[in-house]
Amino acid sequence: MDARRMSRAVPRVRQVGFFTPNTPAQQPQPQSAAPSSESPPLSDSPASNSLSPVMIPPPRHLSDNLGGRTAAVPVPGRENSGELPTVGSYNPSESVLWLDSPPRSRIGDEELSEGAESSLGWYRRSDSAKFASSLPSGGFNLSTAKHPDSVAAVEAKNPLPEQSEAQKEQASSSKPLKAKTTKAERRALQESQRAAKAASRAEANKSGTPGGAPSSKPMKQPPQKKDGPPVASSIAASERIGVDRSVEKERKKDLPPPRKQFDDESRGGRAKRRSVLNQPEARNRVELFRHLPPHKNGTQLPYLGSKFFELHEKHPAVYKVGLQYLAGDLSGGNARCIAMLQAFQEAIRDYSTPPEKTLTRDLTSKIGGFVSFLIECRPLSMSMGNAIRFLKSRIARLPLTLSESEAKTTLCSDIDRFINEKIVLADKVILRHAATKIRDGDVLLTYGSSCVVEMILLYAHELGKQFRVVVVDSHPMLEGQKLLRRLLVKGLSCTYTQLNAISYVMHKVTRVFLGASSIFSNGTVYSTVGTASVAMVAHAFRVPVLVCCEAYKFHERVQLDSICFNELGDPDAISKVPGRVDVNYLDNLTDKQKENLELLNLKYDATPSDYISVIVTDYGMIPPTSVPVIVRGYRKEYLLI
Amino acid sequence: MPDTQALVNDFLNKLKKRKIEGSQATAKQTAELLRSVISQTRMPYTNQAAALIHSVKAVGERLIAANPVELAVGNVVRRVLHIVREEDLSLTTAAMAGLNLSAESDDEDDTDRDNHPALSAAAIAAASRSTLRPPSLQTLLEDVPDSAAVPHTSSSGGDSEGKSKSADKSSRSRKLKHDVIEAVNELIQDISTCHELIAEQAVEHIHQNEVILTLGSSRTVLEFLCAAKEKKRSFRVFVAEGAPRYQGHLLAKELVTRGLQTTLITDSAVFAMISRVNMVIVGAHAVMANGGVIAPVGLNMVALAAQKHAVPFVVLAGSHKLCPLYPHHPEVLLNELRSPSELLDFGEFSDCLDFGSGIGAPLLHVVNPTFDYVPPKLVSLFITDTGGHNPSYMYRLIADYYSADDLVLERRTTSGN
């Protein structure tokens, strides 16, 4: 009996792992209480029985936390296979038995995070944890010895069938115990454990930072690794959960904050007060788009120029980029992003930390100021948002030990690396991929002017492929004319037409190549306005649509229409048609006429994913359904390196 | 005669140079020209209807050849031919009913009559009518009394045939021409009032606070929207500008002048906006017999977007736009390419557009089509001056306006030309 107890005391080590300094006190209690308790364990199991569905992590969680798990799982498997050769790799009863122990580890964390994490999923989990801990303590015993395998079993294979598993669990948990402990004993043990848990919880609440748990959290790994091999398995388990949860938490944190809505009173007011530029009057604003900031045209350039010296805190390089955005000299997602990053780079080079401030914080706020200035000049594209996020995370992750100059050089090289890897090299990879889809005799259609598509066309031309390019253009941007000019200079044979004639030319087209400003994680392609129409007509004519987009432009937001989020262009650009003097119907309108007329110049639209055949990205050619996968993997890559 | 010839030549020139804009104007002018042609036609003593048909056809073929893409010309020519046949037929039947004589239609059914000498004139008229008219419920019902009257007339019809025929001729010759001109006048009237007839139905289709999208400019659409506005409906209109002609600007201007809330959008924003639109109302260039629409360029895109978002796509078309032909490859064959100067500045791209000199094929083609073909499955409803119709019903509507003989003849002659 005592020996048994001793073996049962092994979990103590594990618990130490979870509650580092606080728990040791808790462990003796069950031992002392156990002998006195005599009630049958089965009385408790119904409760656990009914709850078992919730304590089993739903399969979604399993798959979601793949990253964390793959690290954790192999360890126990390898270390313990020798220990317990008889136990199969998959034993449902055991796995469930094991399951009841890790929740204990959860509780410690739970207490810390309960305030913050109030979502249903978490709530359920914490619940289950509490109840699970009230399972017969026999489970504990076994779990220490056996669960390594079951860890793997549960995670890899077993989104457990709930009810039957629970029953088995019941049986198995009682079976080994019956030999040595009475029901009462077990009940007592259990109660004592509950008490201990409550005590530890209270302690945790009091201290706020109980022991190892908080320290382990930011590291995303419990520090118990240093504990010896005997507890490796439990470490693995806890580790898994730790990673699980931290990943999940992080994901929650990463959830993009709601977009700033222009019509939001409080925020709008603040923005207006801070704004450098005059807000154009709200006349002739389309009602549907009042939530978007109105276009600021180049007429404000002189005004902004006059304010140059008042804006001394803006770095000149940033200022210059802002002016270029405003004037429309810089366009195209990549060009804008690179210009912005380079301006930031320059600003960082010239930066010096003011006294009694830390570089990390001050620089972040400084960058924030730059960004809000740029937003005022022109709303950011998704890709720029991603780049800024990258930069900010790099700043936040700067080791405190670095000196200022070191930090600055690190950041500058980080920016360089971002531009190089995520844009320049990514484009090269995209070229390679996309060129394989161009064959001799093809008629390729492209819309607007995408620099990636242009590079693809030129690259394929250099490879000696014989094809024809249909450049489709639309008023008022007429970017296609510039693209057409550049293609003609390189000797490509082209057809030029306007968007309206798309159905006429689509008969002969064999591929459609489109660029994108961003791709959302529901597969929606956010691109120059008109792209959706092109993709739709191509889809109607059964022509494959290839969207070429660097992965850094992917965004985890989702969008269904082109109205909730968009950018407004200059409304007056619509009424003017360059090179057409005969089109002047809207020149001399009376005030009454102007009152009723709204001009809408949208910049972007959202193409539904069903029109997209393939997305060519630096990770290869993927279907639109795989975008969220890339988004996830990509975020990890550039935030966690 | 010479002055009609001059008129015809003048009109031909206008058609060839695409001076006449809009199918309504074309249709009206064609009808007026044909009216004068008919009035100038010298009527022979026999076979007057055939003579009229012949002269109308001769002019019509030239008109159609002058602008084969402007289907309204052909439509009106066929309508006039149909009128001639109908008038002739009604005269024949009237003569028969009134005189109870064998006033057989002597122009076309000569052979028929020769083959069946035993049959009475009324029976022949009924037969000829059923050949002229496609079978419909109405003609079937009309035929019943005729066939019932056959035994009755056959008893008394035989003997007085020769005498009454010659007596009837002189009055009929003048009467036929007169009736035809009257009917053509009616046609012209129809064509010029079709807007009002269509606009009258606007209130039935536009409700309060509706959001309507249209592309380019069409007078029918303008009147339709204004009619609804006059009935105190308040609604909002999105007008796509319709590049490269930018007629949407014109329509938008007209609409705001009449006090309608109008938003001018680019053609590229159609897909973005269509999800917030309740109905798409557009004009058409021509409606084909299968219910397909030859429409201003860009409308196929709009129709596809409307289908994607389940927005009703309503086409307004006067009956002169109903074309009895079935389209084959209409995107190309029934299309017209306009000048590239509407899309590109010649000065800027002249080096690449040089087709005459240089080496081999030019690098740059500029495509600027005028029309789009919208297949019938994308159209929710046609609103014509006779009411609303499904695309699948178009062939039937067309059968009421045209006689089957003319379709075949016209097609042969146009293909010959």
**How far is Cα A262 from Cα B239, in angstroms, rounded to an integer?**
26
**How far is Cα A593 from Cα A253, in angstroms, rounded to an integer?**
50
Q: Which of A342, A359, A418, A416 is nearest to A386 (CA)?
A: A418
Q: Give the pLDDT score at A47.
A: 42
A606 forms bridges with which residues in the sheet? A526
Question: Does pTM surpass 0.80?
Answer: no
Contact at CB, A596 and B259, closer than 8 angstroms: yes
Q: Kindly report the backbone phi and psi dihedral angles of residue B240, in degrees, each rounded to the nearest multiple of 5, phi listed first.
A: -80, 140
User: Is the alpha carbon torsion for B177, B182, B183, B185 positive or negative?
Assistant: positive
Q: Which of B333, B342, B338 is nearest to B369 (CA)?
A: B338
Residue numbers in B near A538 (CB within 8 A): none
Q: Nearest-CA distance from A441 to chain B in Å? A: 15
**How far is Cα B387 from Cα B394, in angstroms, rounded to an integer?**
12
Q: Nearest-CA distance from B268 to chain A in Å? A: 4
Q: Residue A94: CB partners within 8 Å, gap ≥ 6? A: A87, A142, A146, A147, A149, A150, A153, A172
pLDDT tens-digit series, residues A320-356: 898 888 888 888 889 999 999 999 999 999 988 888 8
Domains and CATH numbers, chain A: 270-279+292-422 (1.20.120.420), 437-567+602-638 (3.40.50.10470)
Q: Would the pLDDT of A593 be above 70?
A: yes
Q: Which of A138, A193, A123, A146 is nearest to A171 (CA)?
A: A138
Pairing mode, strands A614-617 and A620-622: antiparallel
pLDDT tens-digit series, residues B213-232: 999 899 999 999 999 999 99
Residue pair A93/A169 in contact by the 8 Å Cβ criterion: yes
**How far is Cα A627 from Cα A557, in angstroms, rounded to an integer?**
11
B337 forms bridges with which residues in the sheet? B369
Q: Nearest-CA distance from B300 to chain A in Å? A: 7
CATH of B200-335+370-406, one of 3.40.50.10470, 3.40.50.2000, 3.30.70.580, 1.20.1050.10: 3.40.50.10470
Output the average pLDDT for chain B: 81
Residue pair B281/B235 in contact by the 8 Å Cβ criterion: no
Contact at CB, A496 and B367, closer than 8 angstroms: yes
Delimit the domains of chain B by residue range: 4-193, 200-335+370-406
Q: Nearest-CA distance from B227 to chain A in Å? A: 18
CATH of B4-193, one of 1.20.120.420, 1.10.10.10, 3.40.50.10320, 3.30.70.3420: 1.20.120.420
**What residues 238-267 of chain B have any CB closer than 8 A to a CB of chain A?**
241-244, 246, 249-250, 252-253, 255-257, 259-267
Q: Which helix (H) or strand (E) holds A396?
A: helix A382-396
Greatest Cα pair distance, chain B, in angstroms, is 85
Strand order across the beta sheet in which A511-515 lies: A620-622, A614-617, A545-548, A511-515, A442-447, A467-473, A493-498, B364-367
Strand ranges, E, within A499-576: 511-515, 518-520, 525-528, 545-548, 554-555
Residue B223 structure tokens: 């009147």
DSSP letter for A169, please. H
Residue appearing with tokens 């010029």? B192
* A346 three-class SS: helix
Q: Which amino acid is at B95?
A: A
Residue numbers in B near A504 (CB within 8 A): 297, 331-332, 335, 367, 369, 372
Distance of alpha carbon B178 from its chain centroid, rounded? Answer: 23
Residue pair B210/B236 in contact by the 8 Å Cβ criterion: yes
Q: Would the pLDDT of A427 be above 90?
A: yes
Residue pair A51/A128 in contact by the 8 Å Cβ criterion: yes
Alpha helices in A588-626 (DSSP H): 591-596
Across A529-533, average pLDDT: 96
Residue numbers in A near B352 (CB within 8 A): 488
Q: Residue A31: CB partners within 8 Å, gap ≥ 6? A: A5, A8, A9
Q: Nearest-CA distance from A476 to chain B in Å? A: 8
Separation in Å, CA A234 to CA A8, A105, A112, A147, A177: 14, 10, 21, 8, 21
Q: Closest-CA residue in chain B for A541?
A: B304
pLDDT tens-digit series, residues B197-211: 999 999 999 999 999
Q: Would the pLDDT of A11 be above 80?
A: no
Contact at CB, B361 and A493, closer than 8 angstroms: yes
Q: Nearest-CA distance from B49 to chain A in Å? A: 43
Residue numbers in A near B253 (CB within 8 A): 585-586, 589, 593, 597
Q: Which amino acid is at B121?
A: A
Contact at CB, A605 and B256, closer than 8 angstroms: no
Output the average pLDDT for chain A: 71
What DSSP assignment string belongs to B186-255?
A: HHHHHHHHHHHHHHHTHHHH--TT-EEEEES--HHHHHHHHHHHHTT---EEEEE--TTTTHHHHHHHHH
Burial group, residue A627, by CB count within 10 angstroms (0-12, 13-18, 19+): buried
Burial group, residue B204, by CB count within 10 angstroms (0-12, 13-18, 19+): exposed
Q: Which of A14, A15, A1, A29 is nearest to A190 (CA)?
A: A29
Q: Which of A536, A574, A596 sits opposite B308 (nearest CB)?
A: A536
Residue pair A41/A177 in contact by the 8 Å Cβ criterion: yes
Residue numbers in A near B264 (CB within 8 A): 574-575, 586, 597-600
Q: Would the pLDDT of A61 be above 70?
A: no
Q: What is chain B's percent helix, strand, coil content, to nearest 5?
A: 60, 10, 30
Contact at CB, B269 and A529, closer than 8 angstroms: yes
Burial group, residue A401, by CB count within 10 angstroms (0-12, 13-18, 19+): exposed
Contact at CB, B272 and A602, closer than 8 angstroms: yes
Letter string b/e over residues A261-283, b meaning 16 or more CB atoms within 10 A of that residue's CB:
ebeeeeebeebeeeebbeebeee
Q: What is the ipTM of this complex?
A: 0.83
Separation in Å, CA A511 to CA A142, A438, A447, A548: 62, 8, 12, 13
- Tens place of pLDDT per residue across chain B (417 aa): 567 889 899 999 998 888 888 888 999 999 999 999 988 888 887 788 888 888 888 888 888 888 888 889 999 999 999 999 888 888 888 888 776 544 444 444 444 444 444 445 555 555 555 555 555 566 556 655 444 444 444 444 444 444 445 455 556 667 888 889 999 999 999 999 999 999 999 999 999 999 999 998 999 999 999 999 999 999 999 999 998 989 999 999 999 999 999 999 999 999 999 999 999 999 999 999 999 999 999 999 999 999 999 999 999 999 999 999 899 999 888 899 998 888 888 777 877 766 555 555 568 889 999 999 999 999 999 999 999 999 999 988 888 899 888 875 544 444 433
Q: Which of A288, A485, A528 sits opposite B276 (nearest CB)?
A: A288
**How far is Cα B122 from Cα B145, in angstroms, rounded to an integer?**
10
